[in-house]
Amino acid sequence: MTLTPHTELVAVEGSTVVVANAITGAQRRIDGVDTVVLSMGSRSTDAISRALRNRGAARHAIGDCVAPRGIHQAILEGTRVARAI
């Protein structure tokens, strides 16, 4: 097993993968791969909330829209917003 931290998967082409260094962007091909395991970080995505804000629509951001966290935090935030409205 070979671990390649700071690496982004670009493509899977049969038993060859193309990866890029997350810092430099330099790409390389790795041949003879039979398994790829991705360990991906979390990233907040609030594009829908921003789009609604720009249209003047009422909205409440909860969960991963605010920040990447666990399901329990999202449920708690959703409960609080539901009670407030």
pLDDT in tens, 56-80: 778 888 888 888 888 899 899 999 9
Domain range for 59 is 47-84
The model scores a pTM over 0.75 = no
Backbone phi, then psi, for 32, in 5-degree steps?
75, 30
DSSP-assigned states of every residue in 11-52? EEETTEEEEEETTT--EEEE-S--------------HHHHHH
Q: Are residues 33 and 3 in the same domain?
A: yes
Chain mean pLDDT for the chain:
87
Residues 6+ apart with CB under 8 A from 29: 16, 17, 18
Q: Are residues 52 and 74 in the same domain?
A: yes
Q: Are residues 57 and 25 in the same domain?
A: no
Beta bridge partners of 49: none
Tally the domains of the chain. Answer: 2
Chain position carrying tokens 């720009």 = 54
Q: Are residues 55 and 27 in the same domain?
A: no
